[in-house]
Structure 1
Amino acid sequence: MLVKEVIEIIEKLAPPAYAEDFDNTGLLVGDKNAQVKAALITLDTLESVVDEAIEKNCNLIISFHPIIFSGLKKLTGNDYVEQTVIKAIKNDIAIYAIHTALDNQFKGVNDMICEMVGLKKRQILIPRKDSIRKLTTFVPHRQAAAVRKALFDAGGGSIGNYDHCSFNLQGEGSFKPNEHAKPVIGERGEVHLEKETQIGLIYPEHIEKSLLKALFSTHPYEEVAYEISVLENENQHLGMGMIGELETPEEPISFLKRIKKIFHCGCIRHSELNKNTIKRVAVLGGSGSFAINQAKAAGADIYLTADLKYHDFYKADHNFILADIGHYESEQYTKDLLHSYLTKKISNFALILGETNTNPIKYI
């Protein structure tokens, strides 16, 4: 397979359209047309990870975090970012980063944390806005079924656990082709009335290009009439963080000890243990201080995240528990998620789970 073909498979799991604006996802280093010999899957891309890729004959690194986050103005090897990129280029190793595109997926980073903790009834903590769109088009009655099927096949009309969802109205359309038109129905210079079906369906924004391609390729008219609108509805299957419930409530101390063991935490920094039991748990892998209020509002007994500052812990405000389990620790199983997904999709080259520990934080 070519690098670009592997990328297509990755982006079906985590479309880049859903990465945060501040992020730098996608192919960061390398030739998208290069043939893949083997791929190394890792949480971070450091020079030591590139060394592991060289040792294991991998010419593609699939990384959760991007090694290039802000713009590079020079490549002189003055810091760890430049050193890593130079070594990758010298050894013809491509680097792809997925980061917040996967953070925002329902079956992504936070779902993996929920799985490890054992949470049921999972929901997105901060549903994404402005990611659902609606397509409305007008089709002659006899072609409506074919156009509708093409739109469904392209991914339109899916709502949660339901697909093939649309709303259809019967009506009459009018048009008059001018002298330059090549009408499929009607005559030039004459007003034509046609029995039509108005088809309306919703779709996620990242499939818009393929959806419109399906519409134009199956619609019989020379000029296709359609409307696109952005809905204000929150996307309950896309967004940051998750919240779920334990099957059996646990005491705070025993719960935190279990979390420490599961995630191999050097320590867990937490606020006052002001709950008798833990039942409802919010999670957000990596830096999650921005979601404290949302976790509290969602009725969480405890919020598991990372990179909390001193004053963040005051925001618990005696209402729930804040627990900083570590950035690396909270996201470490992401590479297992990627490895599991890709091994089901790709069988014609090796997918190797990286063994390099890239956690920069050590504990005494």
Structure 2
Amino acid sequence: MATRRLGIIMHGVTGRIGTNQHLVNSVLAIAKEGGLPLANGDRLLPDPILVGRNPEKLAALARAHGVARWTTDLDAALADPADELFFDSAFTAGRPALAMRAIEAGKHIYLEKPVAPTQAEAMAMLAAAEARGRKHGVVQDKLFLPGLTKLRLLREQGFFGRLLSVRIDFGWWVFDGEQVPAQRSSWNYRQADGGGLVLDMFPHWRYIVDGLFGRPTAVTCQLRTAQPQRRDERGQPYQVDVEDEARALLDLECGAALEINASWADRVRRDDLLTITVQGTQGSAVAGLHRCVAQALGTTPKPGWNVDVPVAQDLYAQWAPVPDVVVLKNSYRMAWEAFLRHLAEDGPNTTSLLAAARGLQLVEACHASHTERRWIDMPVLTAG
């Protein structure tokens, strides 16, 4: 048994998700446990170098978490052959150029989503990585959440029977900054900075749909800007030029219908900020981020419709919790581990740049559907 060092250039991890999920809960957590165990008994030990523009932030972050290396010189980091993998979680708009620089420098790449503002840019990155023989992946953390893992187990066990429909409900109320500070960054609401609910979140929905329910073949979508005027982090007013609500209906290859209701102007009255409801001929389930409840055909009640009296049945009590039968780690960490296994021992990779391009295919189809007010077909997307 041996320990193999893996140098990772971590760009743009001074933000909340970059620090907490990618650096602390994933890369450093793996390193603190002595590395990632591989099939041959070896261990892959991540050794990150933090890269960004602000030396004070980088130094403070490195000092707080015991990271030995940091730099503001991205060119120097890319030129070092001892660091094999480039990771980016900075702004979407700058990601394609950064990824191309990393590929040209001979690095493998692992990127936050969306990997680019457009499908064409993602396909160009894919072609460049393949031409250089570089491995590539996009973060797909949501598939490793406990609630979604339970959904996948139910599907694999045949619990649902023939799939009838799926509904994704997502969002919460994001304050406009007038009286209460907003809890999302202002760049989310500016097109020039890669903002917009569809570009931000629908790449997630695409890999969730592909991974749990099968390929979507067509979509119709309506977009809205519910709060067109907001205040930024400095309290300055600005105009929102992207959508903050989206409602989409997808046809799935399996014949089921899938509905997405996503909004940053939504006062939540449901089990979680994200819920996925699955209806099948033999059973149904509702999953949040962590919990999942199910109702089989054999335990399905027969409600009566009577507008003259309140509902007597406790409809929530008729669903049974799906137990925690699989021990799971942090979802971002599990996504990292899956990609690192692909990198180190050619493990399966369902998170490639082709998967990322499929997410952007859905984004562009939603925008086209809204603009043209019609259904948009989504053909099979291949690397060729």
TM-score (norm 2): 0.28
Higher-Rg structure is: 1
TM-score (norm 1): 0.30
